Structure 1
């Protein structure tokens, strides 16, 4: 079926397809397809919306020729589009009938066209999506927002952007680093109860360093795709106030690269920002990938005391950390990694969504041109990678105590429509198999390092499925906040 510029191929699937185009020059403000947040981020990241396709009234009919297969192995819906101009890339952002959002990259590079599409001239790119039909039961009304609208229908939005910079025909390895340097720079920042959710806050000046070095201090390390103000946005204010009292105000955070540099490089950047005359005795709250930064810092306990600069870890709380890695960091699952975070956006505080979504868009730009090697910060979480193998052989100092918060996640039925659909379709556990997980990290990865080794935790707590705590939901949970305070303030 030829609709607009696209050819749809789905043997055995019938339905209606309508095409619409952006109503104004910037490509976003006139489209009801996007949430305001998504329109804002795409415009900031120089991503242009081309036409969108709405598929409705789909139904299975007599199967003809064999259908294409989606990346999940299921029957797929193939969409052929003319390749973009030289120097540009294109992807499809899709939302299915239940509101599940997914990103789709071209299945093969542009090539000669065949059949019905041949008359369009030029090369074509093929995208293969999961083939779904609306559920027979009445659709439940979602209580949470999403980034793409039109529930009950499948919406495919074509997005184009300038390709990640190439040098000599190869993707520049530093491309992602240049993006983070510009938009997610390294910095140490204050983390006060009245401003921790704000992007701009108190810098760490000489007086602050004097205070931080005068007694035990608390360091907050955010995880993948975020920064301190977004990664910890849901933290209970009362809990943070208690922490400030316990540490006499010595609480700060480290914004670090999560895409283009390894945890060890993150530690180098942290230590470079600590004045030589300052000694730090640190407790750490580390979320997700931030736990690997904490472990890299702790792995240096043998040589940190040799110079003028001394940093000692006292307590580390690992919150949903991939200490044993996550299958989502493997190259073949990276798009699933991005899809999961995109669907989790509906559960994040408003202060976090723009920050995380902008990083997701940058990752998609790199994946679209096969630039996974430009993101060693993500591949650091690979289960059998060199980074985790090295950390496995380098334990914390004997005086460092470690604690762990983990979860086995299943979505609550009310208000989490897209994630409930993820669960019904088996998408949540497809990568992890039968292993319990928080949607992003296997539950046991918080302490199980692999290779028959495990972190020696002083205490740990695992949220069962009834708590509905996902990878991004720990800091909004009252019990999690209570345990943080207890672990950090006990003698």
Structure 2
């Protein structure tokens, strides 16, 4: 166990590992990770959930070491020298780990005692100009972890604790993975497309009260298309990293059953690529599957799925022709109609942090599947490339896709929308907000705009300069901050189901 004395100097942890922690006092201990059997007997919050273990294993990540930090940072004492984050806004710690060579990728997953998780990439993967690696004998990779994530303990109601806090326990988990996946090949521009082809294939599936939370369901056949065309149908479209059965699992059974009854059983869902294909390519695939008969649909969509729904409502505007399909109502739930700053390349890892932490603290549906997609994106970004992530780029404010989508004429579709502001409610949320999603960090990314941790709330309801917006107040449900609802829990919020029933009917 090594002592941290606030110095700028590297503290040797042994085994080729070292840490610089200017201004931080406490201890750092290099450890082997606890085995699965030990975790199952006595699982700690910093271990994460069993779903996280499953997702790490499924994506080829192996935890090889832990650095156990138990630190105190006196708020009144300034460090003689500091390390700064790439944006110059945060003090950081720097962890050096042995470089394992060009065939092995390396990541750090930081975890505190409250289950807050943050991903950290080698410095060169973050676009920094300074080298992250020295080769040859003693070669290392370096990672920088914001010091603001230390001292994450939620304060007692009467306490007066600053953002940094005074005491924290954090594990830095060192993860390794092969650069070449034995099934989908080498990391690179087409890795995510190959991964999605194998693990998240396109499909149009039956969606019924008996199977809407099930991963497997019959694909639509000739008889299904004939049934769907007998009246207005209801289509569900999921968002980024997700699938239909995961995205809508939070809907209460009575709500889904009533929607199914109202639409006479004409309910189906669209599974599609969300990482490697933009919404235009998603819709192009869907249109190729449609039979040669008129089909009328209403749509419930979540997150990026709303951009797919809008493209489907007016495919001709995106150069996709005019199919035998008409869209009546669309209900946007947490949809980035004006984009999200988290889709900016500088903030992508922040989005992955928030979603990983949210699923770890507040799991909804089959979270292993969603975590696998998130981890796949982390690996690709950690490899130093954003190529092959066009699905994420489609949500970037000011990006090419949104500029084209929001520059068209009104489609005439009846838009309805549900969007959330977020504030921490209860101890679990205090833990979440005290990590990298602390108020100060949120405000810097979102410029103090209300948001659900992923999507700015105003952009769900209104898009500047787009003639199809704003959505009238009578067709909005703004979720108040006091509800404690985030992007991944919107369908479990009771008024969401109530509004779906208010707004949607096949007649």
TM bucket by the smaller chain? Answer: 0.7 to 0.9
Which sits farther off after the overlay, 255-264 or 9-18?
9-18
Counterpart position of 1:440: 454
Hey, what does 2:84 align to over in structure 1? Answer: 69
2:210 & 2:490 partners in 1: Cα distance?
Answer: 20
**2:99 paired with 1:83:** yes
* Aligned residue runs from structure 1 range 227-376, under 5 A: 227-275=243-291, 277-300=292-315, 309-346=323-360, 348-376=362-390
Q: Which moved more, 1:152-161 or 1:444-453?
A: 444-453
> After the TM superposition, which residues 5-24 of structure 1 pair with which residues of structure 2 at under 5 Å, given as runs?
5-22=16-33
Distance 1:6 1:370, change over 3 A: same
Deviation of 1:123 (Å): 2.4
Q: RMSD of the TM alignment (CA)?
A: 2.9
For residues 49-83 of structure 1, the C-alpha deviation after alignment (integer angstroms, 9 at most, x for no partner) is 11011111433495554121135621111111122
Ranges in structure 1 where 5+ consecutive residues have no aligned partner: 114-119, 141-150
For normalisation by structure 1, the TM-score amounts to 0.88
Equivalent residue for 1:401, pick from 394, 411, 414: 414
Per-residue CA deviation, residues 287-313 of structure 1 (Å, 9 max, x unaligned), is: 110010011111225799977x50100
Distance of aligned partners of 1:332 and 1:131 in 2 relative to their CA distance in 1, 3 Å threshold: same
Does structure 1 conserve the Cα–Cα contact (< 8 Å) formed by 2:154 and 2:427?
Answer: no
Q: Deviations over 1:194-219 (max 9, x none)?
A: 21111012321221111111110000
Shift of 1:271: 1.2
The CA deviation at 1:44 is 1.2
Name the SS for the 1:265 alignment partner.
helix
Match for residue 62 of structure 2?
48
C-alpha separation between the residues in 2 aligned to 1:348 and 1:283?
A: 30
The farther-off stretch of 348-357 and 217-226 is 348-357
- The CA distance in 2 between the partners of 1:137 and 1:386, in whole Å, is 41
Q: Counterparts in 2 of 1:16-165, with a 5 A limit?
A: 16-22=27-33, 33-60=47-74, 63-71=78-86, 73-108=89-124, 109-112=131-134, 121-132=137-148, 133-134=150-151, 153-163=169-179
Determine helix, strand or coil for the equivalent of 2:387: helix
| Whole-angstrom distance in 2 between the partners of 1:239 and 1:138 | 38
Structure 2 Cα separation of the partners of residues 25 and 250 of structure 1: 45
Check conservation: 1:343, 1:418, Cα contact below 8 A: no
The 8 Å contact of residues 304 and 310 in structure 1, kept in 2 or not, is answered as no
Task: Note if contact 1:28-1:34 (Cα within 8 Å) is conserved in structure 2.
Answer: no
Match of 2:296, SS state, is: strand
**404, 416, 430: which is aligned to 2:429?**
416
1:104 touches 1:127 (CA, 8 Å); kept in 2?
A: yes
List per-residue Cα deviations over 1:227-279 (Å, max 9, x = no partner): 0011111011111111111100001100111000010000011112222x232
Q: Secondary structure at the match of 1:373?
A: coil
SS of the aligned residue for 2:426 comes to coil
SS in 2 for 1:449: coil
Residue aligning to 1:449: 463
Counterparts of 1:476-487 in structure 2, within 5 Å, are 476-487=492-503
Is it true that 1:2 corresponds to 2:12 in the alignment? yes
Q: In the aligned structure 2, how far is the partner of 1:490 from the partner of 1:280?
A: 13
Q: For residues 111 and 203 of structure 1, what CA distance do their matches in structure 2 show?
A: 48
In the aligned structure 1, how far is the partner of 2:52 from the partner of 2:274?
A: 21
Cα distance, 1:112 vs structure 2: 3.3
- Equivalent position to 2:478, from 462, 468, 473: 462
Q: Which is further off, 445-454 or 45-54?
A: 445-454
Q: TM-score, normalised by structure 2?
A: 0.85
Judge conservation of contact 2:201–2:271 (CA < 8 Å) in 1. yes
Asked whether the equivalents of residues 341 and 397 of structure 2 are also in contact (C-alpha less than 8 Å), the reply is: yes
In the aligned structure 1, how far is the partner of 2:79 from the partner of 2:427? Answer: 39
> CA deviation digits over 1:423-453, x for unaligned, max 9?
6552333310211111111111113223465
| Partner of residue 392, structure 1 | 406
Q: Would the alpha carbon gap of residues 243 and 319 (structure 1) be closer, same or farther in structure 2, given more than 3 Å must change?
A: same
Q: Distance in 1 between matches of 2:502 and 2:123?
A: 50
Mean Cα deviation higher: 20-29 or 285-294: 20-29
2:71/2:168 contact within 8 Å kept? no
2: CA distance, partners of 1:488 / 1:456: 20
- Change over 3 Å in CA distance of 1:304–1:107 after alignment to 2: closer
